[in-house]
Structure 1
Amino acid sequence: MSEIAALLGSAVAALTAVPRSGDAYRGLDDAALLALTRVAADEVRLAQLHVSLLAGEIARRSAPELGSDGLAQREGHRTPEEMVRVTTGTRVADARAAVRVGVAAGAPSPTPLTSAVIDGRVSVAVADAVVGALGRPAAGVTQPQLDEAAAAMVERVAGLDPERAAREARAARDELDLAGIATREQAARERRGFRLGRRAAGGGYAHWELDPETFAVVSEIYDRVTSPRRNLPSFDDGTAAGPSALRATSDSAASGGAEADPDADERTLEQYTSDVFAELLRQGVSADTEHLLGDSPVGVRVVVAAATLAEGRGGGYLEGQPDPVSLATVERLGCATGTVAITVDHDGQPLNLGREQRLYSRSQRIALAARDGGCRWPGCERPPSWCEAHHINHWLRDGGRTDVADGILLCRHHHRLAHNNGWEITRAGPTYLLHPPERGPGGASGGDPESASSPPRTAPPREMPSRSRALRDALKPPA
């Protein structure tokens, strides 16, 4: 006890000595700033690990069979999670995650995932997200299979945030349990519901739990309303087209930051979105959606690998959504709206136009959306409807071709970075690599003036993975 207390006390004392004034960090160059941020993240992971190990022991000493003699109840708490929450001053969700991971880490035979947590390679939050998304054993899926899937994901999720790690884990569960896709889709559908609540002064709020198919439709509308790429709509009553905050996002860079129009709409993006949805409800099926949502009808594409349809096992994906829907849903939507076949070669590349046409066609944009799943810039989550097609070999500078293989979906922000800030994208088969621009010795800003004569640094390229799980299905070798 005294040794652990001394070590933890020394760690707290060392962290207390670290400067806590912003002035101490303003003189850092970019590379040092990012390096210290990573070190600080390591601090957080280790601190969360220590709390989890202690929380696991609290849970062991508060086992239900101990009743009122358990530690938590002796101290006046109903559960070990509550005791951890009160003792650490954290959220309920964080306390529950600490107990879950701590109990697993304290098991007689730790799994590779819990070992990675103990080693500090994976954070407590990421480990908990992976275990939660993999789910529990079911028909055809055993606990050893789930443990094996978690072990195989350790290196892949080590650098991810909990949300992305959970998506990877859900994809792994789907691979293990193809037959359960329809069951999980139905469970999500059963959770659907809508309720209104009142607030003081006459206002109110809505809580809407959406099934996957409805969510895809609603999110398509939401993406159109909020996308910087859209033609800003106007209502019949003459109200302004859209929030000035959104126009500033999409237009200020092009205008050089010119002063805003004093007559511009001052609604926030959230207020504007609320007004559009309210107007859609008012107008109902007779609404002229061209004024509100652009020049094409609202609809959602479903993407599925041809091999999946031929084999009759697996699932498809509603465009922009990471989780699969059943083949029954794919076939129903195909029956209602028709299908478009997108031929994919061995490199995962469809539809080419060469240099006969500069802009990507509608068919090519559909193919890009199916292949990329949204903006492919590492870490970006923008959906296909927010994206623009970028020639990785620039049309004018490089004589680039309007081929899907040489195009990639980027949101407007990252499209500007690619053109204006020196970022380059290269392709090797189905793989796309993002090459950062050369930086001076001190990075883009800051640094030691005496080292200005040093050669520029070039960071290693970053992989730009597709977010389309249907593409992964299409490129999988035959079973």
Structure 2
Amino acid sequence: MSSVLASLESLAATVAGALPCADDLATLTPEDEARATQVLGGIRSSVVATISLLAADIERKSARELGTEGLAQKRGFKDGVGLVQNLTGVGRDEAVRLVRVGGLLETAQAVAPVHKGDDPPFDAGERSIAALAALPGAWDVPVAVAVRNRWLSAAQGDALRQSLGPPQLTELAPAWRAAALELIGDCWSGQWTPEDLARAAKRVRASLDTLAAVREAEHCKELRSFKRFVRASGMVHYDIELDPESDARFYGPIRTMLSPRLGGPRFRDAAEIARARELDEDPRSNEQLMADTVVDLVECGGQSESNVLLARHRPQVMVALTAADLKKARAAQAVFRAHHAGDHSHCPGAALGLNCAGPDQGIAWIDGSDTPITATDAVRMLCGGGFTPVLFDETGQAIDVGKDQRLFTLRQRRAMAKRDGGCLWPDCPMPPDACEGHHDNPWAESSANHKTETRDGTLFCRRHHLMLHNHGARIERRGSQYWLLWPGRDPVLLHAKSGIRAQLRAQGGTR
């Protein structure tokens, strides 16, 4: 038996004998209980660090290229993670994390080695961003050393490294390192949990590489799904995955209607207070209330020309973006038109040697989501209504809060429905109640366009409304006619599908 193993087994026996039983713990004062938990947490951190180093070495000695000669394979396991899982009794996700943390600790040892009996390169009790910044190596070296020095917990370090992730372009590495250092400092000052740190790192990553964030946002949209199947019990199960924008549209009304039960703001006037009291006293669980609310909303939407259920307290979803990203969204519309017409000379992908994915659209943020959307999507959402824009300058100060009423009113929608007769897109059969109101004068182009007028609005189904914005197309009103201006194509006159328009045209009232 090696001296290391003998020492560990002796330590295990000592710890087992020293740990108090439940009766002993019950005698602790609240202050002693908190301190005991802290002490045990420190012991756990030390043990996890050692296990992580072993886990990383086991994974390396079980590499796939070693085949049947791998350490794990010789013991009948598929990979090193499986062996670690078996030896420690943890779940697979935790075993994977142990391997990752072990890799971080190996990196720290390679850059700033510490040997038993030697003086450490840093005073482990004095946290220092300057000391971390002076370290050589890759962007994640400060994270690795912070974990080794116990300046970050293993969970915090892993969350930061995984959520910030490696830069996709080598020239972004200095910005990544600076971001990692700033996040470490924020974690110290804010006493962040690993979850807090992961969310912050995810937001920073999107802000540092907006092109990658746009690609991820588009990929996120592609993953949306809605599945339905009937269980043997007769209950019907729905499985739904939504991107942040769709979730804001879906969950916003539910949260508004059930706000008092879900921890949201309390209503103020007598009728609202009475409604809140009813919700508090409702014997149904929150899950049952949410299920019933979804059914009610779908039924209401299916039976109404316009949803008036939320007319008084329409869910206000805030969309935040910087002035710079709004400028990108404005510029992107022109680049989109050229891009879809085959001219990629202004697309940033071509300049960076990447596959051309269109212009840099900028990013924006929906309330309650750490996953950004494109700024052009934000502009499109503001066109559709129900979202409130908040514009920020480079210092983080809000410089403009838009109107929360971007929706066409019920009266305006009725007028548009009679005028357009449904989706104005050529050959689209969708009726008016399946359409969205499109603001022909883009909100992002001028403050003069921050108004909702019937004559400057047109009806399109959601699919064609998305196509309009995603391809940089425009609707132009010429007198009483509406023209589709598609990039690289001749203007197309949009013909209304309503009886009244056909009558007026036949009588010479419109062209």
The TM-score normalised by the length of structure 1 is 0.59
Structure 1 range deviating more: 324-333 or 16-25: 16-25
Change in Cα spacing, 1:157 to 1:342, as seen in structure 2 (3 Å) is: closer
Q: Does 1:305 align with 2:328?
A: no
Contact 1:73–1:79 under 8 Å retained in 2: yes
Q: Does 1:321 align with 2:376?
A: no
Amino acid in the other structure paired with 1:128: D
* Cα distance per residue 1:221-247 (max 9 Å; x no partner): 343244223569xxxxxxx97898x72
Aligned to 2:142: 112
Aligned to 2:164: 134
Amino acid in the other structure paired with 1:2: S
Find 2:299's aligned residue among 282, 294, 301: 282
User: What are the residue-to-residue correspondences of 1:356-375 with 2, within 5 Å?
Assistant: none
Aligned to 1:427: none
Find 1:227's aligned residue among 259, 262, 266: 259
User: What is the deviation of 1:5?
Assistant: 4.3
Unpaired runs of at least 5, structure 1: 233-239, 248-263, 352-361, 364-479
CA distance in 2, matches of 1:303, 1:196: 34
Amino acid in the other structure paired with 1:134: L
3-state DSSP of counterpart to 1:304: strand
Change in Cα spacing, 1:22 to 1:112, as seen in structure 2 (3 Å) is: farther
CA distance in 2, matches of 1:41, 1:294: 52
User: What are the residue-to-residue correspondences of 1:460-479 with 2, within 5 Å?
Assistant: none
Q: Does 1:18 align with 2:46?
A: no
CA distance in 2, matches of 1:41, 1:155: 22
User: What are the residue-to-residue correspondences of 1:291-440 with 2, within 5 Å?
Assistant: 295-310=312-327, 314-337=362-385, 348=397
Amino acid in the other structure paired with 2:64: P
* Cα distance per residue 1:314-348 (max 9 Å; x no partner): 42211222332212112212333386667889894
Aligned to 2:154: 124
Contact 2:217–2:371 under 8 Å retained in 1: no
* Cα distance per residue 1:187-232 (max 9 Å; x no partner): 1111111212332311232221111211222232343244223569
Amino acid in the other structure paired with 2:238: A
Contact 1:59–1:99 under 8 Å retained in 2: yes
Aligned to 2:422: none
Change in Cα spacing, 1:153 to 1:200, as seen in structure 2 (3 Å) is: same
3-state DSSP of counterpart to 2:238: strand
CA distance in 2, matches of 1:273, 1:208: 14
Aligned to 1:164: 196
CA distance in 1, matches of 2:292, 2:396: 44
Contact 1:72–1:79 under 8 Å retained in 2: yes
Change in Cα spacing, 1:272 to 1:9, as seen in structure 2 (3 Å) is: farther
Unpaired runs of at least 5, structure 2: 112-140, 269-273, 330-359, 405-511
Find 1:215's aligned residue among 247, 252, 258: 247
Aligned to 1:72: 72
CA distance in 2, matches of 1:343, 1:73: 55
Aligned to 1:417: none
CA distance in 2, matches of 1:134, 1:278: 39
Aligned to 2:216: 184
Structure 1 range deviating more: 207-216 or 278-287: 278-287
Q: Does 1:203 align with 2:235?
A: yes
Contact 2:316–2:388 under 8 Å retained in 1: no
Change in Cα spacing, 1:151 to 1:84, as seen in structure 2 (3 Å) is: farther
Change in Cα spacing, 1:6 to 1:340, as seen in structure 2 (3 Å) is: closer
* Cα distance per residue 1:4-32 (max 9 Å; x no partner): 54246425633652323266345414x44
Contact 2:143–2:161 under 8 Å retained in 1: no
CA distance in 1, matches of 2:382, 2:88: 52
CA distance in 2, matches of 1:341, 1:58: 51
User: What is the deviation of 1:307?
Assistant: 4.2
The TM-score normalised by the length of structure 2 is 0.56
CA distance in 1, matches of 2:277, 2:88: 42
* Cα distance per residue 1:9-56 (max 9 Å; x no partner): 425633652323266345414x44433333333233223222211101
CA distance in 2, matches of 1:101, 1:343: 37
Change in Cα spacing, 1:125 to 1:207, as seen in structure 2 (3 Å) is: farther
CA distance in 1, matches of 2:183, 2:71: 35
Find 2:184's aligned residue among 149, 154, 165: 154
Amino acid in the other structure paired with 2:366: L
Greater relative contact order: 1 or 2 (C-alpha under 8 angstroms, separation 6 or more)? 1
Aligned to 1:48: 48
Change in Cα spacing, 1:173 to 1:141, as seen in structure 2 (3 Å) is: farther
CA distance in 1, matches of 2:171, 2:163: 14
CA distance in 1, matches of 2:92, 2:54: 16
CA distance in 2, matches of 1:137, 1:346: 25
User: What is the deviation of 1:81?
Assistant: 0.9
Aligned to 2:491: none
3-state DSSP of counterpart to 2:233: helix
Contact 1:224–1:230 under 8 Å retained in 2: no
CA distance in 1, matches of 2:145, 2:277: 49
Amino acid in the other structure paired with 1:124: A
How many residue pairs are counted as aligned between the two chains? 328
User: What is the deviation of 1:72?
Assistant: 0.5
Contact 1:49–1:123 under 8 Å retained in 2: no
Aligned-residue Cα RMSD (Å) equals 3.6
Change in Cα spacing, 1:339 to 1:281, as seen in structure 2 (3 Å) is: closer
Change in Cα spacing, 1:197 to 1:153, as seen in structure 2 (3 Å) is: same
Amino acid in the other structure paired with 2:301: G
Structure whose alpha-carbon radius of gyration is higher: 2
User: What is the deviation of 1:74?
Assistant: 0.4
Amino acid in the other structure paired with 2:383: C
Structure 1 range deviating more: 269-278 or 313-322: 313-322
Aligned to 1:445: none
User: What are the residue-to-residue correspondences of 1:249-260 with 2, within 5 Å?
Assistant: none
CA distance in 2, matches of 1:16, 1:294: 66
